[in-house]
Amino acid sequence: MQLARVIGEVVATIKDANLTGSKLLVLQPLAADGGAAGRTLVALDSVGAGVGENVFFVRGREAAFPFYPAEPPTDATIVGIVDHWNVAPTWSCRSAPLVMQLARVDGTVVATQKNRKLEGAKLLLVQPLTLDDRPRGTALLAIDSVGAGVGEKVLVVIEGKAAGQALGKKAAAVDAAIVGIVDAVDYRDDE
């Protein structure tokens, strides 16, 4: 999942029948420091978000899950409205590949309005890391399934089915989950 700000709305009078009645919003993805991070995109709204609000969204197949049993053709859906987030301001962000990866917990996210399958879930802002602990990629929002805390190095799965399993709920609109707290990483650098 990723943080974003709602910056606009899309009106489409002709669209796929499965999108009828759906609210389409324009999102600007955000870095952990609140600055723009990447290109704008259009997402379906499942929580009643509005222009100017900070939200978090899910991508991929999981984007249709909040509308089950309907299956709208979407690859991005807003699944929560962010009340606030807290993060250490000195860490930077860039884009990251979508694979299981090492990350550092940079902060917490509070969202009182979110998809019902995310109710009760602990949301943490994580910064993907290189093997030598340098920031890599854009900060992500992840469900915590292991009791991680701010500043800890963690193992994060970036795939919907694995993340949903970590949450313990099938067909949950989640695509990132913390599945381990890392004690140490040993690797061999054979350049």
* Tokens of residue 92, six digits: 């930077």
Predicted local confidence at residue 152, as pLDDT: 93
Distance, in Å, from the CA atom of 167 to the CA atom of 177, rounded to the nearest integer, reads 7
DSSP structural state of residue 34: S
* DSSP-based three-state secondary structure for 89: coil
Delimit the domains of the chain by residue range: 2-181
Question: Does the pTM exceed 0.75?
Answer: no
* DSSP-based three-state secondary structure for 8: strand
Percent of the chain with pLDDT over 90: 30
Q: Does domain 2-181 fall into CATH 3.40.1190.20? A: no
**C-beta atoms surrounding 23 within 10 Å:** 16
Task: Of 62, 65, 67, 59, give the one whose Cα is nearest residue 21.
Answer: 67
Q: Between vectors from CA 113 to CA 78 and to CA 103, what angle results, nearest 5°?
A: 65
Percent of the chain with pLDDT over 70: 86
Q: Is the pLDDT of residue 82 over 80?
A: yes
* DSSP-based three-state secondary structure for 29: strand
